[in-house]
Amino acid sequence: MQQGTQNFLPTQDFILFFFSCSSFTYVLFPFFFFFFFFFFFFVFDPELLRFISFKRHIVQLISTNKSLRHRSLRIVLVNKKKRKKIIRRRFVIKNYCKK
């Protein structure tokens, strides 16, 4: 007799194999760890954004409120004459409270 079918997706086999594989433990896990470490500590920390500079881009931190909860960031393009031009993208980090 045929037994009842289980609700088991075929992708779960691949996910279980992927997480049990040794390559994930020794290769991919350090990569994800360092990626998320740098991503959260250097991208979402406005105090460290002042010191991050790329080849031609400088990320400027502008405080819009004295309570440090609302911050706005402008990406500034520096040309060869060292004149700052504001790039069209501007985004705001909301609900950030520094402890």
pLDDT string in tens for the chain (99-residue length): 455 555 555 555 666 665 665 555 566 667 777 777 666 665 555 555 555 544 344 444 444 444 444 444 444 444 444 444 444 444 444 444 444
| pLDDT at residue 73, as a whole number | 44
The CA distance from 71 to 69, in Å, is 6
| pLDDT at residue 63, as a whole number | 42
| pLDDT at residue 34, as a whole number | 73
At residue 36, φ and ψ (nearest 5 deg) are -70, -30
The CA distance from 16 to 14, in Å, is 6
Q: Where are the domains of the chain?
A: 8-43, 47-99
**Token pair of 33 as six digits:** 């760890």
